[in-house]
Structure 1
Amino acid sequence: MKAIVLGAAAGGGFPQWNCGCRVCAMAWNGDPRAPWRTQASLAVSLDGANWTLLNASPDLGSQIRATPALWPREERHSPIGAVILSSAEIDHVTGLLSLRERHAFDLVALPPVLDAIAANPIFAAVPARRVAASASAPIMLAGGLAAELFPVPGKAPLYLEDQDPKLESEAGETAGVRISGGGRSIVYIPGCAALSDDLRTRVDGADLLFFDGTLFTDDEMIRAGVGQKTGRRMGHMPIAGDDGSLAWLSGLPVARKVYIHLNNTNPALIAGSPERLMIEAAGVAVAHDGMEIEL
């Protein structure tokens, strides 16, 4: 089984188009320690001919053009057979509009995410067969893969929030995905607000885990002067701290662990930074665009 990181950054990409924070400034200035990253998405295949995308970022068109494995092989063709959505956030679904040119594929998500898609008429232009997943049964995909979707603690997309949003909901607004095939498994969780017993069970024994690396510290955006919300308020637990994800990941029985969906303010984006070195010392990698992992 092969995984290709199409994009590794959180919403807005890196550097973010309107941000000159310390981390983005390094990228704008061409510092080789801070290479540019597009918005998070993953491509997975077992046979090399049929590919499943995990989320469809706004950068999907350029990501496909940068990835030969996803190029058409005849006059009208695409090896993309399915797109799995982990949430209905803007940076996870907007790329669907780049797949509207009459190529049929399966769009797989938990019911709350499909409901959000169905409620927006713009997505009627996307010729996908919508497949409602459940946490109790796998979905079979082209090329011999199977996908299991399961709720993880999170929240509704920002554009669907009410006055008092539930921040650690497990009703299916945010999902993790376990892709299996050929005796191997990959778990993809680009958004997670908190750890839960079910989450620990779902990732146990995976060969590869991509996990939410949005912010290094919970108040990172506030301290950088570019936002007023904590990471947890946005539905993302921090990397650092006794209750952060790194402490959990470091002891997790998973062969390979990778942070993905990194916000533009996250100093872990900088190679050689103290934050990156701390992550790597714990046995966890940081994703970059074009990263390929074969299992």
Structure 2
Amino acid sequence: MLRVVVLGAAAGGGVPQWNCGCPVCRAARTEHPELRSTQASIAIGTDGDHWFLINASPDLRQQLIATPQLHPKAGQLRMSPIAGVILTNGEIDAVAGLLSMREGSPFTIYAHARVLAILKANSIFDVLAENNVRRQPIEIDQPFEPRLPDGSPSGIEILPFSVSGKGAWYLEGKVHPGGNDAAGDTIGLRIKDKSSGKFFYFVAACAVVTDELKTRLAGAPLVFFDGTVWRDDELIAAGLGNKTGQAMGHIAMSGDQGAIAALDGLDIGQKVFLHINNSNPALLRASSERKMAERAGWQIAADGMEIVL
């Protein structure tokens, strides 16, 4: 049995964002606290005792407090059921939470070599001593089985694959610690329970839905997909920024080239948007955008959401 817990569903900054007074953030602070969401991450597990995180958001400590499955076992002074963290990119909202895991519990970081190079180049991540926190490189289109702390197999198979995207924004105009080849900056994951054969896809960042990606996702029982913005010029139109979704490496939900249209007709069992920006009107339950997404068969992820396959 494959269990998935959404630790956070929001894009960078969360909802409400600390310095934002947009309609969604205002509503989240006042009459609609249910809109509040932490930055995107999920936990996966098959045995109820060991869990792996997909990305470690800056809100990780808050997320762990809110998730009983990830609490230390009663009667043990120092332990964690978290056996590892799989990183899909090197953005701040995917890696900063690692710094909240520096208190000595062993686990493994699984990431593409380009993302591991970013961690190595930044000495602040040295607080995660490598004799206690292993850093395991993963390769595109090469499945791997993350290990439990005692070295035994987890029973989970993870297949990383490339998706269209961008490198970490804070490296724009700078030399990338991992070199010039951009392959590996943004990846998706197929996550499979080896015992039951159940699987799902996790794609938290994606700039374009290619034919190859459509073929990969077709017929999947569950897909978590990039839901950052509703429309490509959303931040500009709202006066919240000067970049389009495409410029940030994120496809829009709507439009002829958006995720809803691109993934329509692929016989996906359950379609869930996550990594949703505070600017996105689909967060508002009464909005026309939310209703349009739901009519197309999409769910909007929320913190604490749990799915069992």
TM-score (norm 1): 0.95
1:53 paired residue number: 53
- Give ranges in structure 1 of 5+ residues lacking alignment: none
1:131 aligns with 2:132: no
Equivalent residue pairs, number: 291
1:274 aligns with 2:274: no
1:148 paired residue number: 159
The 1:164/1:241 distance shift into structure 2, 3 A limit, reads farther
SS of 1:178's equivalent in the other structure is: strand
- Aligned pair partner of 1:158 in 169, 176, 188: 169
1:85 aligns with 2:51: no
1:213 paired residue number: 227
SS of 1:140's equivalent in the other structure is: coil
Map 1:105-254 to 2 at 5 A.
Answer: 105-126=107-128, 127-141=132-146, 142=148, 143-162=154-173, 171-181=183-193, 182-254=196-268
Kindly provide the CA deviation profile for residues 208-242 of structure 1, in whole angstroms up to 9, marking residues without a partner as x: 11000000000000011010000000010101000
1:65 aligns with 2:77: no
The 1:15/1:248 distance shift into structure 2, 3 A limit, reads same
TM-score (norm 2): 0.90
Which deviates the most, 54-63 or 196-205? 196-205
- Give ranges in structure 2 of 5+ residues lacking alignment: 149-153
Contact kept? 1:151, 1:170, Cα under 8 Å: no
The 1:250/1:60 distance shift into structure 2, 3 A limit, reads same
Kindly provide the CA deviation profile for residues 158-214 of structure 1, in whole angstroms up to 9, marking residues without a partner as x: 11112899xxx9611001011100211121111101112332233233221100000
Contact kept? 1:184, 1:206, Cα under 8 Å: no
Question: RMSD across aligned C-alpha pairs, in angstroms?
Answer: 1.7
The 1:288/1:157 distance shift into structure 2, 3 A limit, reads same
Contact kept? 2:140, 2:184, Cα under 8 Å: no
Q: Distance in 1 between matches of 2:175 and 2:206?
A: 19
- The one-letter amino acid paired with 2:10 is A
Return structure 1 stretches of 4+ with deviation > 6 angstroms: none
Contact kept? 2:6, 2:306, Cα under 8 Å: yes
Q: Distance in 2 between matches of 1:18 and 1:135?
A: 37
